[in-house]
Structure 1
Amino acid sequence: MEWLGLQLFADLPATGRIVIDCRHEPLLMLLAYLVACAACFATLDMVERQSHSEEPTAHRQWKMLGACCLGGGIWAMHFISMLAFQAPVEVHYDVSLTVLSLLIALAVAWLAMQSLDRSHMRAHHLLPSALLIGLGIVLMHFVGMAAMETGARQYYRTGLLLACTTIALLTSLAALCLARYFRNGSGTRHQLMKYGASLLMAGGIIATHFTAMSAMTLVIPADTALRLPSGYNSLQLALGIGFITLLISGASISAALADKKLQSKEHDLRRVSVLLGQLDQARASLQQAAHYDALTNLVNRRGFNQVFAERLAEHKATQSRLAVMFLDIDHFKRINDSLGHAAGDELLKVIASHIKSATRTHDLVARLGGDEFCVVTSLNSCDEARHLAQRIMQRMKEPIDLGGRRMVMSTSIGISIFPDDGSSAEELLKHADLALYQSKDSGRNSLHFFNDKLKTQASLALQLEEELRLALLEEHGLCVHYQPIFDMRSGQVAKLEALVRWHHPQHGLLGPDRFIAIAEANGLIVDLDLWVLRHACADLAHLQRLGYGDVKVTVNCSAVTLSHDELPVEVETALLLAGLAARQLELEVTENALMGDIQRTVNLLKRIRALGVALSIDDFGTGYSSLAYLKRLPLDVLKIDRTFLQDVPGSQKDREIVQAIIVMAHTLHLQVVSEGVETVEQQAFLETHGCDYLQGYLLSRPVPLADLRPLLERVQRESKVLNPCGGKVLQGSPDLFAGSPGYRAGASIARRGH
């Protein structure tokens, strides 16, 4: 096959003279290899710069420079190698074909740079690109060979011709892979590997050329005269081309190195700028976190105190009126208990939005913590404050979708007015808080202004605190009432729950709702619990001497007392002083009291249990405990809270809940006490489902020790009514078993631990 005067895939002619004295100048061969190495290294640098250029113009410029370095280097290597070829014939080069070979080399190099411009190059992209580049290099070589005019014809052997093409294809594939690999990286090892890759790529390119040259045989036709070589100095031309090519490659490499350093400095400056921006953002975030609530984006307590002080100073200067409103979300704890704290947080966001939308733009709205909010507003009359509070309450009544439920919340509001209710921030906040407590005590979902009566009530609370402290110190005025707990199997009184009362000299008999909160708030609850414990043990010892040796006493233990490390020692001391066996005492703890430091609580309860004292969990189902905690606690008894029994047997869900609790408790080998038994239907339901003990108004109300013995005697006479074998229910007399309405109000507080 003849192409551009080249005899490809053709046999040697039968006639003609074969030129056999052909050789290559070693110095020019080495120069060609060096030119190829420099071009390959420069191309790798151009590819790296191309991939790291962020501006489109610079990206295109590096691509063009890389194509020039690679194409010019391949062509210069080829032309220098052609000049290194020496034969005993005259050699000239056709200018047009030589220029065409250069253009082919540049086109092939542009194709290579274009292929390397892909961010992700798969095999189906890589192989076609390598094929086109390899064939382009072969085409460039044979166009350059066609430019050589010697008077002889060029014949090429098929095997070496195919080997040349294969080497070109493999070299192109390897070059693409290496160039993609070295696009990223830094350091000495990376640079050394790049040098090695350049030597390898240059070796493949020059191997392609000399394999093709080995495939060539020069044949002078028989009718053509032999023209001897002229004085043409190929060495000088080759050195000139090599020098120019090396100069271009070196300049390109220097430009790439300078750009790399410049870009590195730009990146450093950019990082510094980013760090400075982040520092500003962090400073702003700290300022935001210091003065604003992260959940609702309202002003927090710290920011509120600062802004409130500034506004109060302004109103003092202008003698204008100012309202301070304390808001507390009614029954918010139920949301956290039932739906979880995440749902509670979402609800707080919506509530904050409602409050903000109901106020004016210049009003100060803050979240002071939990579900407590505060609004400070300027006004001309008290009616403005009332209207604003009513607007907030009305906005709060809009339904809220939360966790697949549609609920309506309400709020209690307390309001104090400057200057009527105080002149300092502390006074105004304290008086607004007192007004808030009045709203909560009035049934919630209401608003109240501060008045002197509230101050009187606060003074009364302070007085009660002082008198309670004195009553504990002198052990005067406090007493214990007992509510029987009945055994379902025997119908007898099995236990007595000790409930504290206070005979106040001015206010009469006070239930726990009047003083337990005061004791908890002022650190008296531990002393009060231990006082009840000692007196309950002493009273039970007295009952034993009267012949009631099988009865146990249960004493409530608050969360604060449960955290008291000396509680086991106090229990043991109370038993010793009363001469009472440990098995006759049972301590009741609520779920919430158990959920503090669970491991510490378990260890403390184990110490008490080791004494022989029984342990009971009170108000089960109303706190935060789970089965995972329940099985770890050393408990003996579980008390079902009265709230689950209120709608039994009418409510199917409540029936199923109570039944499930009984089954679960028995599975954990716990006895079950049901509180709040008020109807015979409830008693029958509990008896049917295996409840062990009953306690409630149907059976008996709490009574003082003096009235306890007649009650126990009457129960013994009527115990046959409770006998399960007889299939009957308790039918006690109204004066003995019916709870008074006045007691019911205080009994709910008693479940909290007293």
Structure 2
Amino acid sequence: MEWLGLQLFAGLPAHGQIVMDCRHEPLLIVIAFAVASAACFATLDMAERQSHSRHAAAQRQWRLLGACCLAGGIWAMHFISMLAFQAPLEMHYDATLTGLSLLIALAAAWLAMTSLDRSDMRAHHYVQSAVLIGVGIILMHFVGMAAMQTGAQQYYQTSLLLASAAIAVITSLGALLLARFFRNGSGVVHQAMKYGASLLMASGIVATHFTGMAAMTLVIPADTALTLPSADNSLQLSLTVAFITLLISGSSISAALADKKLQSKEEDLRRYGVLLSQLDQARASLQQAAHYDALTNLVNRRGFNQLFAERLAEQDANHSRLAVMFLDIDHFKRINDSLGHDAGDELLKAIAEHISAATRSQDLVARLGGDEFCVVTSLNNRDDARHLAQRIMQRMKDPIDLGGRRMVMTTSIGISLYPDDGLTAEELLKHADLALYQSKGNGRNSLHFFNSSLKSRASLALQLEEELRIALLEERGLCVHYQPIFDAASGQVAKLEALVRWQHPLHGLMGPDRFIGVAETNGLIVDLDLWVLRHACQDLARLHQHGHANLRITVNCSAVTLGHESLPNEVAMALDQAGLAPRYLELEVTEHALMGDIQHTVNLLKRVRSQGVGLSIDDFGTGYSSLAYLKRLPLDVLKIDRTFLHDVPTNSKDRQIVQAIIAMAHTLHLKVVSEGVETPDQHHFLASSGCDYLQGYLLSRPLPMGDLRALLERLDSQAWALTPRCDKAPPGSPDPFPDNPGHRASASTAQPGH
């Protein structure tokens, strides 16, 4: 078959002269390979730039430049290799066909670069593109061969011709895969691999050309005269073409390198921009976390301190007034204990919404922690603060749906005013907190303004705390008084109730109502209870040594001590140190002290009871679930609260209540003690109603140890027996608290039983 004067797939003619003396110039072959290698490396760089460009225009530019590099390299390699071909014939080249071969090379190269731009390349895409590009290279080669004019005819061997085409397709496929692979990556290893890939691609292109050249045989027709070659300028022309091609490839590589650096810088700048943006977001998040409460989205304590200081500075400059309100949710702990902390969190969010809805947009609302909130508001007069506080309290009464329940909460509020109650944030907050404690102490669900007397009381409480701590540490000033408890049947002293007193160097002998609250607030109550326990056991042991061997002692136990896990061990230690048998000790607990974890309390009391120590429930009838406690607690004695005896025996309802309590206790096999016996009528009624033990000012006041021993000895020597007809108390020393008849540390004074 003849195509463009080429004899393809045809055998040699029978007549004619075969040109045998043909060879290639080695230097030009090396130059051709170098040109192809440089072009392939430039093409790989262009493919990389094309894939990394974000703009379509830039991608088209790199695609065009890559196509020019690849086409120029292939065509230059072919042309230089043709110039390296030497035969004993005069050769020249047809300009039209030479230009056409270049255009075909450009088309094949453009197709290759376009294929690399496809985002999702499947196997059949690679094969299709490789076949088309390979066909283009073969066409370029044979059009270029057709441009070579020698006067001889070109015959091509079929097997080598097909081998050349196969090499072209395989080379194209390898070039596509390598270019795809080297689109991403960096570093020395990546660059070295790219050099190797360029040499491999160039080898394939050179192999395609020279396999095609090996398939060619020049035959001079029989009637054609042999024309010898004239002057040879192939080296100069080859160098010129090589220089131009290498210049294009080098410029392209330089441009790619510069673009890569520029894009790297742009990428760095973009990353820096993203990082700065992320840092700004992180800073904002940290600012939010640092100054706002995550649960309620209100300002937290740290943010409040900052904003409050700024607000104070503004008010100071404007000479205006501020109100600081401390809010505490009443009985919030019960919600956490009964419904769990998740329900408590939901309740706090609803309460925060209530408070925000009741305040104005310019008011500062903060959650300082737990169930404590604070509101700072500008005002014209004192009534403005009162009205806002009342509005908050009213809004708090709106029902809250919580786990299928409708909860109604109340709040206690303490208010301090700027500049009347302080000029600094610390002063105002401290004074508002003092006012809040007054609200809570007056029954809760109320509001109070700060006044100077609160500060005096707080200072006194702080002083008492410090002195009480020293008194406990040095065991100096504290003492125990004992109030006798009489057996109603025999009239003899059966028990002694230990009641703590404090001989203060400035304030004199102080009752528990003056310092028990201080001890509870500052964590000293457990130490105080255990101190009384130890001293009471030691005093009773001394009384036993002096002949009063049947006496028992009752010691009160506060709510905090009752929850102390080591209480059974402390009781055992106190008894052991005093050398006292457990049956002579009785612990008194109140119903109010049992309002915590009842199961834990029951287990703890059972451990105490197992040692042989008696248990008594004090102030019976003043708690919340008296009968429920009686059923579960391991009790021995029930003590009727003094409040039920005030109108006995004149009030029939009170008489019936007391008689019912005595009957119920006896049914449960409990002994009954009635405290607060102050009149003969009360004594007569109780004795006739079956009460087991009597205690009160009618019989004896609380006495220090020295006076108590004198009283007991006097009673023994006079064979004193209390009878229902008794109309006066046994003689005793004067009571240190004459203005408070029936005084003892109970629910009506300070802490039960001290």
Taking structure 1 as the reference length, what is the TM-score of the superposition?
0.66
Distance 1:400 1:117 in 2: 63
Aligned to 1:233: 233
CA-CA distance at 1:336 after TM superposition: 6.2
1:200 alignment partner in structure 2: 200
Is this contact kept in 2: 1:18–1:219, CA < 8 A? yes
Please list, as runs of the form range in 1=range in 2, the aligned pairs for 1:33-432 lying within 5 A after superposition. 33-118=33-118, 121=121, 123=123, 125-220=125-220, 227-231=227-231, 233-267=233-267, 298-312=298-312, 314-315=314-315, 319-333=319-333, 352=352, 355-393=355-393, 411-432=411-432
Deviations 1:188-210 (A, max 9, x none): 33333322222122112211221
Hey, what's the Cα distance between the residues in 2 that align with 1:89 and 1:231?
11
CA contact 2:47–2:179 (8 Å) conserved in 1: yes
8 A Cα contact 1:32 1:81, kept in partner: yes
- State how far apart, in whole Å, the 1-side matches of 2:170 and 2:351 are: 71
Q: Check the 8 A contact 1:91/1:150 in 2, yes or no.
A: yes
Displacement, 1:575?
5.9
* Partner Cα separation in structure 2 for residue 108 and residue 180 of structure 1: 17
Equivalent residue letter for 2:185: G
How much does 1:33 deviate? Answer: 0.3
The residue aligned with 2:638 is 700
Question: What letter corresponds to residue 251 of structure 1 in structure 2?
Answer: S
Matches within 5 A, 1:520-669: 521-522=521-522, 524-525=524-525, 527-532=527-532, 534-535=534-535, 538=538, 574=574, 577-579=577-579, 639=602
Distance in 2 (CA, whole Å) between partners of 1:167 and 1:295 is: 72
1:156 and 1:583 map into 2 onto residues whose CA distance is 127
- Relative to structure 1, the CA distance from residue 408 to residue 213 in structure 2 (aligned partners, 3 Å threshold; closer, same or farther) is farther
Are positions 1:440 and 2:378 aligned together?
A: no
Report SS of the residue matched to 2:414: strand
SS in 2 for 1:415: strand
8 Å CA contact 2:33, 2:77 repeated in 1: yes
Is the alpha carbon distance of 1:297 and 1:677 closer, same or farther for their aligned partners in structure 2, counting shifts above 3 Å?
A: closer
Change (3 A) 1:345 1:43: farther
Is the Cα–Cα contact under 8 Å of residues 639 and 672 in structure 2 kept in the other structure?
Answer: no
Aligned equivalents of 2:338, 2:103: Cα separation in 1: 79
The answer to whether the 8 Å contact 1:620/1:641 transfers is no
State, as a whole percentage, how many aligned pairs show the same letter: 68
How far the C-alpha of 1:181 sits from its partner, in A, is 3.3
Amino acid at match of 1:174: G
Q: How does 1:412-491 map to 2 (within 5 A)?
A: 412-442=412-442, 444-451=444-451, 454-455=454-455, 458=458, 461-462=461-462, 465=465, 468=468, 472=472, 473-474=475-476, 476=478
SS at match of 2:73: helix
Pair 255,516 (structure 1): closer, same or farther in 2 beyond 3 Å: farther
Aligned residues: 632
Rounded Cα–Cα distance in structure 2 between residues aligned with 1:315 and 1:346: 35
* Amino acid in structure 2 at the alignment position of 1:700: L
2:648 equivalent in structure 1:
none
Post-superposition shift, 1:244?
A: 0.3
- 1:26/1:744 Cα in 2 relative to 1: closer, same or farther (>3 Å)? farther
Q: Partners in 2 of 1:408 and 1:353 — Cα distance?
A: 14
Show structure 1 runs of 5+ residues with no match.
Answer: 482-497, 588-616, 623-636, 643-661, 666-672, 687-693, 705-720, 723-727
Distance 1:451 1:185, change over 3 A: same
Cα 1:476–1:749 change in 2 (3 A) is closer
Closer, same or farther: CA 390–619 of 1 in aligned 2, 3 Å:
closer
Q: Distance in 2 between matches of 1:380 and 1:677?
A: 45
Summarize the alignment of residues 514-525 of structure 1 with structure 2, pairs less than 5 Å apart. 518-519=518-519, 521-522=521-522, 524-525=524-525
| SS of equivalent to 2:413 | strand
In structure 2, distance between residues paired with 1:340 and 1:15: 111
Q: Relative to structure 1, is the Cα distance of residues 408 and 125 closer, same or farther in structure 2, using a 3 angstrom cutoff?
A: farther
Change (3 A) 1:574 1:172: farther
Correspondence 1:32 to 2:42: no
Corresponding residue for residue 645 of structure 2: none
Question: Is the 8 Å Cα contact of residues 293 and 299 (structure 1) preserved in structure 2?
Answer: yes
- Mapped contact 1:38–1:198 kept (Cα < 8 A): yes
SS in 1 for 2:415: strand
Question: Secondary structure of the residue that 1:366 maps to in structure 2?
Answer: strand
Residues 185 and 543 of structure 1, relative CA distance in 2, 3 Å threshold: farther
Distance 1:372 1:638, change over 3 A: closer
Asked if 1 retains the 8 angstrom alpha-carbon contact of 2:324 and 2:415, the reply is yes
When residues 509 and 747 of structure 1 are mapped into structure 2, their CA distance, relative to the original with a 3 A threshold, is: closer
Equivalent position SS for 1:383: helix
Aligned-pair CA distance for 1:246: 0.6
Note the C-alpha offset of 1:570.
Answer: 8.5
Residue type of the alignment partner of 2:188: T
In the alignment, residue 84 of structure 2 is paired with which amino acid? A
Quote the Cα distance in structure 1 between the aligned partners of 2:344 and 2:15. Answer: 103
Conserved 8 A contact 1:677-1:699: no
Q: Provide the C-alpha distance between the structure 1 equivalents of 2:4 and 2:583, rounded to a whole number of angstroms.
A: 116
* Alignment partners' CA distance in 1, 2:418 and 2:527: 41
Of residues 183-192 and 278-287 in structure 1, the stretch that sits farther from structure 2 once superposed is 278-287
Shift of 1:509: 7.4
- Whether the 8 Å CA contact 1:477–1:503 is kept in 2: the answer is yes
Aligned CA distance change for structure 1 residues 394 and 522 (closer, same or farther; 3 Å): closer
Is the Cα contact below 8 Å between 2:66 and 2:113 reproduced in 1? yes
1:528/1:76 Cα in 2 relative to 1: closer, same or farther (>3 Å)? same
- Residues 477, 502 of structure 2: 8 Å contact kept: no
Q: Bigger shift: 369-378 or 280-289?
A: 280-289
- Asked if 1 retains the 8 angstrom alpha-carbon contact of 2:525 and 2:558, the reply is no
SS in 1 for 2:638: coil
Q: Is the 8 A contact 2:517 2:750 kept in 1?
A: no
Unaligned residue ranges in structure 2 (runs of 5+): 484-495, 588-593, 608-614, 618-622, 643-663, 675-690, 694-743
Q: Residue 637 of structure 2 contacts residue 672 of structure 2 at CA under 8 Å; is this kept in 1? A: no
1:244-287 deviation per Cα after TM superposition (whole angstroms, max 9, x unaligned): 00111111222223333444445556666667777777777777
Q: Is contact 1:42-1:253 (8 Å) kept? A: yes
Task: Please give the alpha-carbon distance, in whole angstroms, between the structure 1 residues aligned to 2:535 and 2:641.
Answer: 15
Aligned-pair RMSD on alpha carbons?
Answer: 5.7
1:53 aligned partner, one-letter code: S
Q: Distance in 1 between matches of 2:112 and 2:403?
A: 59
Cα distance change on mapping 1:467 and 1:233 into 2, 3 Å:
closer
3-state SS, counterpart of residue 700 of structure 1: strand
State the distance in 1 between where 2:195 and 2:497 align: 91
Measured in 1, the distance between the counterparts of 2:396 and 2:31 equals: 88
Contact 1:533/1:555 (<8 A) preserved:
no
Question: Is the 8 Å Cα contact of residues 323 and 416 (structure 1) preserved in structure 2?
Answer: yes
The Cα of 1:291 is off from its aligned counterpart by: 5.7
Q: Larger Rg: 1 or 2?
A: 2
Q: Check whether the contact 2:163–2:211 (CA below 8 A) recurs between aligned residues.
A: yes
Shift of 1:71: 1.8
Distance (Å, rounded) in 2 between the aligned partners of 1:13 and 1:331: 117
Query: How far has the Cα of 1:77 moved from its partner?
Result: 1.1
Q: Retained in 2: the 8 A contact 1:619–1:640?
A: no
Helix, strand or coil at the partner of 1:21: coil
Shift of 1:539: 8.0
Q: SS at the partner of 1:20?
A: coil
